[in-house]
Structures are given as structure tokens and as C-alpha cells.
Chain A
């Protein structure tokens, strides 16, 4: 069974940092793209960033460029999102998901989500 489990969320002040992790099991992690998607409370979905199988190709939405860094460890089957210079508008549930890449991919397995709250 494919499983994705996020951790590392919580409350942080504006300007602070947080590192999210996602541990994968039940599939061959190193053969898939991986993605982060976020959802502000009560709002829609926003794709944040993705990374290819060996970590050499990364894409992200403009609003997080220069602040968030996606990475992966194929030995530990883990995906990370380092979030710096956090803003109130980054408050959201963050999901990691298995991705089939760009172009033409889709997100076929999702974690349960982890809440990040940016507030003073």
C-alpha cells in the first residue's frame, strides 16, 4: 500500500523558517517525481513545487521562489520542503503527493496533510 506521511508543521512567526518532511513507503520512491501542494484553510488547492526522480530538475510557483526549497533523499525515501522567510499567506495545509512529472503528469497518491500556521 502506498503511504505518504508528512511531518514538521506547526506555528511559526512571520519571517521564520520551517522544514516539512514526507516519508514514503509502499512504492519505489526513487522512480517517481514528487510534489508539494498546499491548501489555505477553507480555500482551494495550490501547487507549490515538484522534483524529479534524481533531484536534478525542480519547478516551483513564483510566490515561493527564493524562499522555499524542495529536496529529496532517495536512500531514506523522503521528500522535504525547506520554508524560509515565511509569510502569513503561507498558512495552509501542506500535502506531499506522488507525481508523474511535467508535462502530462498527475498526483495519484497523497499524504494526510500537515498544517503550517504563520502568525505573530
Chain B
């Protein structure tokens, strides 16, 4: 199985900060890496698919980058509504696997 490792597992940041979350896969997954945001008590929401394709309606302060085994989600200027948990997910092969999550908290 492909292991997805996110870092950090949590971070504290202030409104306006630039935040980067890393995701590493245990083998090359090409460009098949997606990012989700989840708020407490809610279903996950797709932010970015295939490394860098922003979903419709997602603010442009979110961006994705990377290739092969190393990927990143960047929030350009953190807004109050961005405090949530973020998950990466590989869709290269079954079983599909998620990273452990990164909780973004208010500093």
C-alpha cells in the first residue's frame, strides 16, 4: 500500500500568515494527489485535484504543487474560515490512501 505522510500534524498560525502543509508518498504517484479540507462535524470538501487544479469556488489563496513523491498545499494568506483540518490523498492505485491530516489552529 502507498503510505501518505503529512507534516506537520498540527500548526498554529495567525490570520494573514502564509501556511504550507507537506505531503509525502511512499512511492511515485505521478500527479495523482488531491487535497481536502474538513471542518468539525462536516464532511470533507475537495480543494485541489491532481496536484494543482483548484476546484470551482475554492479561493485562489489555496494552491498545490509538487510531483513524484513530494507535494505541498499552500494557503497564501490565512483567513478565519481556513481554520480546519487538511488531508492529502493519493489516487494512483488501490487502496486509495489519505494522509493523517494537518490541523490548522488559530494562534
Contacts and interface: CB of A to CB of B under 8 A. Distances in A.
A104 B93 contact: no
A110 B43 CA distance: 6
Contact of B93 (A37, A60, A102): A102
Contacts, number: 69
- Chain B contact residues: helix, strand, loop or mixed: loop
A95 B44 CA distance: 9
A35 B46 CA distance: 14
Interface residues of B, number: 27
Contacts of A110: 43-45
Contacts of B96: 35, 47, 50, 59, 102
Interface string A73-106: 0000000000000000000000100001011111
B91 A106 contact: yes
B43 A105 contact: no
B49 A44 contact: no
Contact of B91 (A37, A44, A46, A104): A104
B95 A60 contact: yes
Interface in A29-80: 35, 37, 44-47, 50, 59-62
B65 interface: no
Contacts of A62: 1, 95
Interface of B: 1, 30-32, 34, 36, 38, 43-46, 49-50, 55, 87, 89, 91-101
Interface of A: 35, 37, 44-47, 50, 59-62, 95, 100, 102-108, 110-113
